[in-house]
Amino acid sequence: MQKHPRQYQRIAQALALGVLLGSGASAMAQAWPAKTISIVVPFATGGTTDAIARTLGQELSKNLGQPVIIENKPGAGATIGADYVAKAKPDGYTLLVGAVHHTIATSVYKKLPYDFQRDLAPVSTVAMVPNVLVVNPNLAAKNVAELVALAKKTPGKLSFGSNGNGTGQHLIGAQFSLASGVDIVHVPYKGSGPLTIDLLGGQIDMSFDTVTPVLSHIRAGKLRALAVTTIKRSAALPEVPTLDESGLKGFDQGTWFGLLAPAATPKDVLARLNTEVVSIVKSPEFQKRMEEIGAVPIGGSAAQMAAQIKTDTERYAKLVKDAKVTVQ
């Protein structure tokens, strides 16, 4: 059966439209980024997550040729910010600086409005920062043994601050209590900024925060560092022993940070982000800044970060159970 000339015309028009739409979609993908990118920090300003995000954002802006802004959305142990990004439009313009805290929160909170592994796509790890046990210098403890002795003498009287319920600092404090057999009170904050202010003012006695927000205060003698929580000493505080060296054998906890996007973000956008982040992490400028704040640059593939998240989620589920960490 012969086709009428008008049928040929319609077919040709449909084919042309298809090519046009396909080209348009490809052009849209290639055009990313075409506007401002937001990086969500799930803590208040003044902490390690904030410092890493701002350094990363500044370099991303240079590389991508678009503004990168930092949005602080603190609360609920970093889960408010994570939920915001998990539900954001998956177009590559809303990102999250996630951390080990999110793998812990999965076990601490009975019900979260998002699934960290399902609803967020890893881009790359960025850095790891050791945690450090610091005390207000007015506290009569010069080392871990003296702190444990003081805590045992006054059970329930000493307090430690954290970045919030279910964060790495919370879990490390709980592990410390379990391992040393002491009773210390947990005081959650919305970030390292307000936590450090209260620690300096003596409203709380100690913290197990990352090195970054307390480093300058340690060097100035305003806070006393008793031990780092990783198995190796921190390059930023080489004179400070580890908890393992101080008698709590096998204690090895640090805090990693990485970039994530909503799960349905286009694969080419995620790939571009990974390429840029890894390039930035390897740059001398970024590495110098990380050294200044006591961080160790990491970088790596999205698959490596996904594996880290899966492993930590399983590992911390057991630690949360053993240390009986609960949200009050």
Domain coordinates in residue numbering, the chain: 36-128+254-323, 132-228
The CATH number assigned to the domain with range 36-128+254-323 reads 3.40.190.150
- Superfamily of domain covering 132-228: Periplasmic binding protein-like II (3.40.190.10)
Q: Tell me the whole-structure pTM to 2 decimals.
A: 0.83
The pLDDT tens digits along the chain (328 residues) read: 455 555 555 555 555 555 445 444 444 445 999 999 999 999 999 889 999 999 999 999 999 999 999 999 999 989 999 999 999 999 999 999 999 999 999 999 988 999 999 999 999 999 999 999 999 999 999 999 999 999 999 999 999 999 888 899 999 999 999 999 999 999 999 888 999 999 999 999 999 999 999 999 999 999 999 999 999 999 999 999 999 999 999 899 899 999 999 999 999 999 999 999 999 999 999 999 999 999 999 999 999 999 999 999 998 998 888 888 877 5
d(CA 92, CA 122): 12
- Judge whether 36-128+254-323 and 132-228 match in fold: yes
- The model's pLDDT over 95-141, given as tens digits with 9 standing for 90+, comes to 999 999 999 999 999 889 999 999 999 999 999 999 999 999 999 99
